[in-house]
Chain A
């Protein structure tokens, strides 16, 4: 490779690695929002430098510009997302609230494009870059949830479960963040047979997920592992996957706080109390659906759900009075990204989201024998990851959070980059 594109790719790679390492670990104590806002600021800042580097490289070197002329379908999806976000921001019912949202989506797209460009020639180390900060968070979550060590002072009125934050911010975000790295660690252990210690890393992530005591990540991890077992072609993989599934279920059942939480959920399910069973999320879900039906093409605009929730919720109350709970408060997010994307960006926005998941999942079903461990990793990981992420977005909102989105975008792009040119195999 000529010298100038190599330098260009090195600059991009340094920025990609900085995003991967800093975003999940950064926090600013004494802030109003200690975790999420600093992560957003770091991600957007580094992504803006990434965009400048991408554009600068294309301007200064014809070889670098040629590298950017990618024609893969995922690149079109990555470009369609910010374009459509810009359109729905213009038609937003709360333009002031939607104003900065396209910037975040542009940053996500730039991060995907930079990852596609830079990881193609890299090997196992490219995977470790995303797993290392996840391991730190998982370890921290485990010591927090078991009461061994709490790195900062906690208000004693905060329920014990909510004290397990890692460096992510709250247990739900933490569990959501750890789910895809857990699947990736497991797929890596399968793809690189000489690196059996990756099973240990996978188990560490599973313990982190159980420590978070958040139901959705547990269910999403179980679903992902189950799909991994079903779609695998080797018996060894099936045994290992079912072993991990059993381990996750045992960890979730043995972990005292996790067991209590599941017992409470089963109790709510037994008496048929849908709001309690869904942690009151059924109401915002129904409200988001009504918003989507009102504006199916362009939605209410990015960030519009939170701004318009109160008025819309009163209409939902009339339709479902049995779900009214006098202690239930406002929701800033639907806690279901499928419905939130539909409500805020309409059908085209949701189609872009589904297209990205579909393209990722399709990698697993490519035919032919593979000798390259990276292709084996991508095929093992892609469809289970797509299923798992689709499940996470059913009861959480990873699309609205920087911490879970960074590994999700990176691991997805990694699969596309490592299987590029593999379609005809």
Chain B
């Protein structure tokens, strides 16, 4: 009986160490990787050498996939993955990755980046929808697109606010 208890205790300790090794150590490692990937993604627009940019994006993509294998629900890692796919011109995959991130958590910056990729794909209506959603939360997201879409979204955001205020006060909306 005593031996059984010792075995059980050792197994418990082994299980705790296994969880630390399989989850906590990768958590710290992926946090570091995420920092490095994020820094390179922010630097991409300053790198003129396309070959170097592509190589960095490919390396980043490998690290993103490794971390996503361990933490498939990390929406920030999905965003970084999509940003690197965008650099590589794999727009369809980037859109799918953004959409997957949105199933995990809805955030304005995801819609904003999704809108930008849709523009690059030439899918203007989808871009408008995504950017309108992003700008509804934070109007600064509309600054990333050119005219006339910027003005259209800007007007739509303020029209919504006017409409809601008018509905609240029981008046006719000035924009209607």
**Is the pair B104, A52 in contact by a Cβ cutoff of 8 Å?**
no
Q: A40-B27, A310-B107, A328-B137 are in contact. List 17 more A-B contacts (CB 8 A).
A: A30-B32, A32-B34, A41-B24, A44-B20, A97-B73, A97-B104, A97-B105, A99-B73, A307-B105, A307-B106, A310-B108, A317-B164, A321-B168, A322-B168, A324-B164, A329-B137, A330-B137
- Give 6 closest A-B pairs by Cβ, nearest first: A32-B34, A310-B106, A321-B164, A56-B9, A52-B16, A326-B139
Q: B140: CB under 8 A from chain A?
A: yes
**Is the pair A52, B73 in contact by a Cβ cutoff of 8 Å?**
no
Cα distance, A313 to B19, chains bound together (Å): 37
Q: B161: CB under 8 A from chain A?
A: yes
Summarize B's interface: helix, strand, loop or mixed. Answer: helix
Cα distance, A328 to B32, chains bound together (Å): 29
Cα distance, A28 to B137, chains bound together (Å): 32
**Is the pair A330, B35 in contact by a Cβ cutoff of 8 Å?**
no
Q: Which residues of A contact B109 (CB under 8 A)?
A: 330
**Is the pair A59, B9 in contact by a Cβ cutoff of 8 Å?**
yes
Q: Which residues of A contact B158 (CB under 8 A)?
A: 326
Cα distance, A328 to B19, chains bound together (Å): 39
Cα distance, A123 to B15, chains bound together (Å): 34
Cα distance, A136 to B5, chains bound together (Å): 43
The chain A residues found within 8 Å of chain B, CB to CB, are 28, 30-34, 37-38, 40-41, 44-45, 48-49, 51-52, 55-56, 59-60, 94, 96-97, 99, 306-311, 313-314, 317-318, 321-322, 324, 326-330
**Is the pair B108, A31 in contact by a Cβ cutoff of 8 Å?**
no
Q: Which residues of B contact A318 (CB under 8 A)?
A: 164, 167-168
Nearest residue (CB) in A for B32 is A31
Given contacts A52-B13, A314-B136, A317-B164, contact A330 B107 (CB under 8 A): yes
**Is the pair B16, A48 in contact by a Cβ cutoff of 8 Å?**
yes
Q: Which residues of A contact B138 (CB under 8 A)?
A: 326-329
**Is the pair A56, B12 in contact by a Cβ cutoff of 8 Å?**
yes
Cα distance, A31 to B164, chains bound together (Å): 42
Q: Which residues of B contact A34 (CB under 8 A)?
A: 35
Q: Which residues of B contact A55 (CB under 8 A)?
A: 9, 12
Report, as a range, how many residues of chain B touch the other chain.
35 or more
Within the complex, the shortest CB–CB distance from B41 to chain A, in Å, comes to 11
Q: B62: CB under 8 A from chain A?
A: no
Q: Which residues of B contact A31 (CB under 8 A)?
A: 28, 31-32, 34-35
**Is the pair B28, A41 in contact by a Cβ cutoff of 8 Å?**
yes
Q: B96: CB under 8 A from chain A?
A: no
Q: Which residues of B contact A99 (CB under 8 A)?
A: 73
Other-chain contact of A60, B5, B34, B161 (Cβ < 8 Å): B5
Given contacts A52-B13, A328-B137, contact A321 B161 (CB under 8 A): yes
**Is the pair A32, B164 in contact by a Cβ cutoff of 8 Å?**
no
Nearest residue (CB) in B for A37 is B31
**Is the pair B139, A38 in contact by a Cβ cutoff of 8 Å?**
no
Q: Which residues of B contact A324 (CB under 8 A)?
A: 161, 164
Q: B76: CB under 8 A from chain A?
A: yes
Q: Which residues of B contact A38 (CB under 8 A)?
A: 28, 31
**Is the pair A59, B31 in contact by a Cβ cutoff of 8 Å?**
no
Q: B36: CB under 8 A from chain A?
A: yes
Nearest residue (CB) in A for B71 is A100
**Is the pair A30, B35 in contact by a Cβ cutoff of 8 Å?**
yes
**Is the pair A32, B31 in contact by a Cβ cutoff of 8 Å?**
yes
Q: B90: CB under 8 A from chain A?
A: no
Q: B117: CB under 8 A from chain A?
A: no
**Is the pair B76, A60 in contact by a Cβ cutoff of 8 Å?**
no
Other-chain contact of B35, A32, A60, A314, A317 (Cβ < 8 Å): A32
Nearest residue (CB) in A for B72 is A96
Within the complex, the shortest CB–CB distance from A3 to chain B, in Å, comes to 16
Within the complex, the shortest CB–CB distance from B35 to chain A, in Å, comes to 4
Cα distance, A307 to B6, chains bound together (Å): 44
Q: Which residues of A contact B8 (CB under 8 A)?
A: 59
Interface flags for B67-82 (1: CB within 8 Å of A; 0: not) read 0000011001000000
Cα distance, A49 to B17, chains bound together (Å): 7
Q: Which residues of A contact B35 (CB under 8 A)?
A: 30-34
Cα distance, A55 to B160, chains bound together (Å): 58
Within the complex, the shortest CB–CB distance from B84 to chain A, in Å, comes to 15
**Is the pair A45, B24 in contact by a Cβ cutoff of 8 Å?**
yes
